[in-house]
């Protein structure tokens, strides 16, 4: 069976399973339970604006979209958020948030938060995982390393210490044309904020903080904080851990800097009043997530099944 045919079969099977979950009695129970939970949706870019628009319309009907200001006020005052509260977050700072996400959110009056990689602003430096993927797809190899697909290389680079990851990236670049990216500018950040999307801290270069040295962790948190303070004209107050990898050293720095909220990427539905302001759960979702799965993600059913299957 060809790869495209296998992919189609897998997609059909997933679609059938998602439909069964959505219309199951369990979904009814989870949907009722979700009234008393906080759904923080963790997106990246907007690859399918039409599907994303449908997701926003559904949230406007069934949920109560809240802003980061409301979440942080609830944390500060220790009072639960409204029933069916949902917060939309976007990691990395891809240009599609500005080009596609902002108009759709603004049209519906739904707020959001963009967690940006500070060193990428006003540059053509690609995100390192995009760079690695494109280099391997173009034939880049590293002597002594096994053959891996582009996505396999990205996955592997997320498992190694920071120093090793940087060494391997440098090796992949050898003999290849530089990979460039289209990044947000300082002016774009101000446009996002004026349109209702708060801009916050997602580290300096997006490493995996739990695989970094103490000095690197400090630079990633503090240097990003200082750069964003200059760009925004205010100090960031919220942080999203790159790749969702929580790190105690980073948390201590965030606390010292006066951060009011910090977000994981653990695919969990949290309480309306999060237990820890710097470890708030988020649900993994994409702008191309189809309606059946989206419904079960927001209700908490899909995360529960995902956990039972060991996170697969």
- Write down the pLDDT at residue 11: 52
Rounded Cα distance, 83 and 249, in Å: 34
pTM of the predicted protein model: 0.93
Convert the pLDDT of each residue in 21-48 to its tens digit. Answer: 999 998 989 899 999 999 999 999 999 9
**Tokens linked to 39:** 């759904």
- pLDDT (mean) for 178-193: 97
- pLDDT (mean) for 85-103: 98
List alpha helices for the chain, DSSP H.
3-22, 25-33, 49-62, 68-77, 95-96, 102-108, 128-137, 150-157, 162-173, 186-194, 214-218, 224-232, 248-256, 291-299, 301-308
Rounded Cα distance, 138 and 268, in Å: 37
- Three-state DSSP state, 309: coil
Domain spans of the chain, in order of start? 19-125+181-308, 128-173
Convert the pLDDT of each residue in 153-183 to its tens digit. Answer: 999 999 999 999 999 999 999 999 999 999 9
Report which of 80, 46, 42 is spatially closest to residue 269, judged by C-alpha positions. Answer: 42
- Write down the pLDDT at residue 72: 98
- Write down the pLDDT at residue 300: 93
Any idea which architecture 19-125+181-308 has in CATH?
Answer: Alpha-Beta Barrel (3.20)
Mean pLDDT estimate for the chain: 94
Report which of 74, 111, 88 is spatially closest to residue 274, judged by C-alpha positions. Answer: 74
Rounded Cα distance, 19 and 215, in Å: 48
Distance, C-alpha 63 to centroid of its chain:
20
- Write down the pLDDT at residue 66: 98
Convert the pLDDT of each residue in 208-253 to its tens digit. Answer: 999 999 999 999 999 999 999 999 999 999 999 999 999 999 999 9
């Amino acid at each position: 069976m060809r790869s495209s045919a296998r992919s189609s079969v897998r997609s059909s099977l997933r679609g059938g399973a998602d439909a069964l979950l959505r219309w199951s009695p369990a979904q009814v129970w989870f949907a009722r339970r979700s009234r008393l939970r906080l759904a923080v949706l963790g997106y990246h870019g907007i690859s399918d604006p039409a599907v994303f628009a449908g997701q926003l319309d559904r949230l406007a009907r069934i949920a109560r979209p809240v802003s980061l200001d409301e979440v942080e006020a609830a944390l500060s005052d220790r009072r639960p958020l409204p029933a069916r509260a949902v917060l939309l977050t976007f990691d990395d700072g891809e240009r599609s948030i500005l080009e596609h996400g902002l108009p759709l959110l603004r049209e519906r009056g739904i707020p959001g938060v963009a967690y940006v990689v500070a060193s990428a602003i006003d540059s053509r430096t690609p995100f390192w995982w995009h760079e690695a993927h494109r280099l391997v797809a173009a034939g880049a190899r590293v002597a002594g390393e096994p053959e891996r697909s582009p996505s396999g290389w990205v996955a592997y680079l997320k498992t190694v210490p920071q120093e090793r990851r940087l060494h391997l990236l440098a090796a992949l670049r050898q003999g290849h044309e530089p990979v460039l990216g289209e990044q947000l500018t300082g002016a774009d950040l101000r446009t996002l904020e004026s349109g209702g999307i708060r801009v916050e801290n997602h580290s300096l270069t997006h490493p995996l903080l739990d695989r970094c040295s103490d000095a690197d962790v400090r630079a990633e948190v503090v240097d990003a904080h200082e750069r964003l303070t200059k760009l925004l004209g205010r100090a960031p107050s919220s942080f999203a851990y790159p790749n969702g990898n929580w790190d105690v050293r980073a948390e201590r720095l965030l606390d010292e800097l006066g951060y009011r909220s910090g977000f994981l990427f653990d695919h969990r539905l949290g309480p309306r009043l999060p237990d820890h302001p710097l470890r708030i759960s988020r649900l993994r979702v994409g702008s191309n997530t189809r309606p059946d799965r989206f419904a079960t993600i927001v209700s908490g059913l899909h995360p529960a099944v995902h956990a039972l299957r060991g996170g697969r």
